[in-house]
Amino acid sequence: MLNVGIVTDSGANLSPKLIEENKIKVAPLKINLGGEIFLDGVDLGPGGFFTMLEESESIPEISPPSPLEFTEIFESMKNEGYESAVCILLSSNICHSFNSASEARDLVRPFPVVVIDSHAVSMSQGFMVIEAARAASRGLSTTEVVDRVWNLRPLVNFFGFSGTIHYLLRSGRLGKGAAFFRALLNIKPIISFDKNDGSIRPVGKVTSRREGLRYLVRKIEEKVSPGKTLHAAVLHGNEQEEAQEFFEEIRQKFDCTELYFHELSPIVSSQTGPGSVGVSFYAE
């Protein structure tokens, strides 16, 4: 019998290779753009999304997988022989996957499912999912897998900047910082996630992309003590060349246990727009 199955949503921004290698089940989120609904990563990828985003006057709307969709995933895991499932989801301040999965958890009882709000998005969430999957593959119990996620959650960081503040402002995700940045439309905000509630928050501002990249490197240097190894993922929204240079800088400056290069999924890019560059990371 298999031990613990791992489930997430497409907000984790995991590559097909990582999903397959770690036997992760992924529930796609939905994007409503101009009245058309697309499944994130299934019938809409980053390239096509940016073309549609630039041509559309509509604000993309994100919706979670339904409770039925999560129920079907949990039932399939039970049928495959898993003893339990751990489900690690996009910040509930971005989308309500947590609520849908919690409802599904109650519907599949007595099959045990633990639902966790990652308070993160993209590979910050993805690193928690990978850690859970690796722990499960080693035969750890459900409680031990969950403990690994809870221990990792406060350690994972995200910092990034948008190519333009336009998408962040119209998404309404900048919260209390919106008025400040609205007055400075030529300024690029540095954004992060509040580890207490998973909301997007502005943590700084820069006047150029080069300054923004230097800021990201400094944040890694601040949080990675000498002798510590780095787990990192460089993320970009239609900005491959600049992000690749940033990736190489990280690879040369730090002792990387793992280092990924991912294009942001449509879910994240719908908030930040094209030209975004960011990094998710933690040290051990």
Give the residue among 167, 194, 195, 148 at the shortest CA–CA distance from 276.
167
Give the residue among 138, 123, 146 at the shortest CA–CA distance from 282.
123
Q: How far apart are CA 111 and CA 76, in angstroms?
A: 11
Q: How far apart are CA 180 and CA 14, in angstroms?
A: 33
Residues recorded for the chain: 284
Cβ distance 89 to 8 under 8 Å?
yes
Confidence of residue 167 (pLDDT cuts 50, 70, 90): low
**Please, which residues bridge with residue 202 across strands?**
191
Average pLDDT, the chain: 88
Over range 189-216, report the average pLDDT.
88
Cβ distance 211 to 137 under 8 Å?
no
Q: Is the pLDDT of residue 181 over 50?
A: no
Q: Is the pLDDT of residue 176 over 50?
A: no
CB-based contacts of 108: which residues, under 8 Å, 6+ apart? 71, 74, 75, 78
- 3 state SS of 23: coil
Q: Which residue has the higher pLDDT, 281 or 166?
A: 281
Spell out the long-range contacts of 57-61 with Cβ–Cβ below 8 A and sequence spacing 24 or more.
58/33, 58/34, 59/170, 59/171, 60/31, 60/32, 60/33, 60/266, 60/270, 61/31, 61/32, 61/33
Confidence of residue 182 (pLDDT cuts 50, 70, 90): very low
Q: Is the pLDDT of residue 185 over 70?
A: no
Q: Is the pLDDT of residue 33 over 90?
A: no
At 119, the amino acid letter reads H
Q: Is the pLDDT of residue 272 over 50?
A: yes
> What pLDDT was estimated at residue 58?
73
Q: How far is CA 216 from CA 122, 159, 211, 224, 234, in A?
A: 16, 6, 9, 12, 10
Fold adopted by 156-283: Hypothetical Protein Tm841; Chain: A;domain 3 (3.30.1180)
Phi, psi of 40 (to 5 degrees): -60, 125
Q: Is the pLDDT of residue 2 over 80?
A: no
The CATH number, out of the four listed (3.30.1490.190, 3.40.50.20, 3.40.50.10170, 3.40.50.300), of the domain defined by the range 2-29+64-154: 3.40.50.10170
Kindly state the tokens that stand for 1. 């019998």
> What pLDDT was estimated at residue 196?
87
Confidence of residue 165 (pLDDT cuts 50, 70, 90): low
Kindly state the tokens that stand for 208. 């150029």
> Picking from 80-94, 139-153, 181-195, which range would have the lowest pLDDT averaged per residue?
181-195
The DSSP symbol for 44 reads B
Over range 136-161, report the average pLDDT.
96
Over range 225-233, report the average pLDDT.
93
Q: How far apart are CA 256 and CA 234, in angstroms?
A: 12
Residue pLDDT, tens place only, 39-84: 888 887 766 777 777 777 777 788 999 999 999 999 999 999 999 9
Q: How far apart are CA 18 and CA 157, in angstroms?
A: 20
> What pLDDT was estimated at residue 184?
47
> What pLDDT was estimated at residue 163?
65
Q: What are the boundaries of each domain within the chain?
A: 2-29+64-154, 156-283
Does the reported pTM lie above 0.85?
yes
> What pLDDT was estimated at residue 183?
46
